[in-house]
């Protein structure tokens, strides 16, 4: 069996971090098992779906390195839905109902007042052909519900949650089609999973009850259902479901300088028993992917943790990987010198300006000491290790040591009191620029 997973977003907005995690795990599971990962655009909601969001979803997946192996769109599959819907009508598994939202709300309030669960009472099943004809004559269009088999047990072995069981009689017959003929999520999704040959569905635990309903739909369609894995939802750093998570997406990550490798490394492992590590290459993440490692507790997403992970990822990026994103003229030696001090790649430009100059002049520094340093800088051999050669000579001549020896030099040479190792930085600044900075007043 060839593994086939799908990521099925609705193009009604941008992907957020929870969507990205779902897509990532579907992609990783497919890759780990030599399978295929498909993007399915669930755009049956024509009023809210926008093409710009379709383009954005594709671009986001590409940026994350998760380009799908294929793509399908629900809006192009209407004939298939109609055919399968007609089969279910003929089998008596979908039926017409007419209650308004207000009427259903009133029924739920009455049930609640009686201490009963808010289940649809199937009143529409008592309507006669004459009733349907009368309502049609009055211009009342029906919506359609899927009729659950109350006698059939619902259960499956979830790849994360283990054995799952539901009683159909405790669930309402779900509405699958609106009065205007448009589709709700559940039936088209089940039809597509069956027709596309989806073998595994990886999604959030908020879909568990949907899976219970869809299993009866698969059975009514006469097809074998896919395997399901329902993962714990993401929470914010405070340990609660956070609206902030709904606003965090690829645009935000790119804006603050987060690398796609860092997003992958964090989302691949939070919520699992594996440690989050700065793994830039997707291959080892994929190789270790296993639903048995996923826990049931909510997975905590912390932007601070992502930022720290991103810095560690950046520190490990080689020059060839980042060359086209560095300032013009910045070479491998400069990159190797500054990358241990970067939080995000864009900060490389700041250190390139330190190397190229000019740098701020600190008028409070000891001018006599810097004049002495400039003289030493003109005498030492710059082909070797000029920093240690210069500081060694100055230590011997002045008796300075520690901060008194090193810090004035760093401030004069870079305009800062921190940064990359001067051993690596000074040769890049070069003899002439170094002497000029030491003599600047």
Question: With the C-alpha atoms ordered 13, 14, 16, 21, is the resulting torsion angle positive or negative?
Answer: positive
For 139-199, the DSSP string reads T-PPEEEE---TTS-EEEEETTTEEEEE-GGGSPPPEEE-TTS-B-SHHHHHHHHHHHT--
Ligand-binding annotation for 395, yes or no, is: no
- Nearest Cα neighbor of 63 from 231, 215, 259, 218 is 259
Burial 181-194 (b: 16+ CB within 10 A, else e): eebbbbbbbbbbbb
Neighbours of 136 (CB within 10 A): 12
Q: Tell me the angle at which helices 186-196 and 78-90 cross, rounded to the nearest 10 degrees.
A: 110
Q: How far is CA 75 from CA 39, 46, 83, 166, 251, in A?
A: 14, 8, 15, 32, 27
CA distance 8 to 23: 8
The half-sphere exposure of 60 on its side-chain side, counting CA atoms within 13 A, is: 28
Q: Are 387 and 406 in contact (CB under 8 A)?
A: no
Q: Is 361 in contact with 413 (CB distance < 8 Å)?
A: no
Dihedral sign (CA 72, 78, 80, 81): positive
> What's the distance, CA 174 to chain centroid?
30
Measured over all CA atoms, what is the biggest interatomic distance in the chain, rounded to whole angstroms? 110
DSSP single-letter state for residue 363: T
Residue 153 to residues 164, 169, 213, 219, Cα–Cα distance (Å):
11, 9, 11, 12
Q: What is the DSSP letter of 300?
A: E
Annotated binding site: 243
Annotated binding site for ATP: 243
């Amino acid at each position: 069996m060839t593994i086939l997973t799908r990521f099925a977003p609705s193009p009604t907005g941008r992907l957020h971090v929870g969507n990205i995690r779902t897509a990532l795990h579907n992609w990783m599971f497919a890759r780990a098992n030599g399978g295929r990962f498909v993007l399915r655009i669930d755009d049956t909601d024509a009023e809210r779906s926008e093409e710009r969001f379709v383009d954005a979803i594709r671009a986001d997946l590409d940026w994350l390195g998760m380009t799908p192996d294929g793509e399908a769109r629900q809006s192009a599959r209407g004939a298939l839905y109609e055919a399968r819907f007609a089969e279910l009508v003929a089998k008596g598994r979908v039926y017409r109902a007419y209650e308004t939202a207000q009427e259903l709300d009133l029924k739920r309030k009455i049930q609640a007042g009686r201490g009963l669960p808010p289940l649809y009472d199937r009143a529409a099943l008592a309507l006669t052909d004459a009733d349907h004809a009368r309502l049609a004559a009055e211009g009342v269009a029906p919506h359609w519900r899927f009729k659950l088999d109350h006698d059939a047990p619902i259960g499956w072995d979830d790849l994360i949650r283990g054995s799952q069981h539901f009683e159909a009689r405790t669930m309402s017959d779900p509405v699958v089609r609106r009065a205007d003929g448009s589709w709700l999520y559940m039936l088209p999704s089940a039809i597509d999973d069956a027709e596309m040959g989806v073998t595994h569905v990886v999604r959030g635990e908020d879909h568990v009850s949907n899976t219970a309903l869809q299993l009866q739909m698969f059975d009514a369609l006469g097809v074998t259902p896919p395997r399901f894995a329902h993962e714990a939802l993401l929470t914010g750093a405070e340990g609660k479901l956070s609206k902030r998570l709904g606003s965090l997406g690829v645009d935000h990550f790119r804006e603050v300088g987060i690398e796609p490798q860092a997003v992958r490394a964090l989302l691949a492992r939070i919520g699992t028993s594996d440690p989050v590590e700065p793994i830039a290459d997707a291959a080892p993440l994929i190789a270790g992917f296993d639903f048995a490692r996923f826990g049931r507790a909510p997975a905590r997403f912390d932007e601070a943790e992502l930022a720290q992970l991103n810095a560690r990822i950046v520190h490990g990026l080689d020059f060839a990987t980042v060359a086209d994103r560095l300032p013009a003229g910045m070479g491998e030696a400069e990159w190797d010198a500054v990358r241990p001090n970067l939080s995000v790649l864009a900060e490389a430009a700041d250190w390139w300006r330190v190397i190229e100059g000019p740098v701020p002049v600190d008028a409070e520094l000891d001018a006599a000491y810097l004049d002495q340093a400039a003289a030493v800088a003109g005498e030492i051999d710059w082909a070797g290790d000029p920093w240690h050669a210069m500081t060694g000579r100055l230590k011997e001549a002045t008796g300075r040591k520690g901060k008194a020896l090193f810090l004035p030099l760093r401030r004069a040479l870079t305009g800062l009191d921190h940064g990359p190792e001067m051993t690596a930085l000074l040769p890049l600044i070069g003899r002439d620029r170094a002497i000029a900075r030491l003599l600047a007043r």
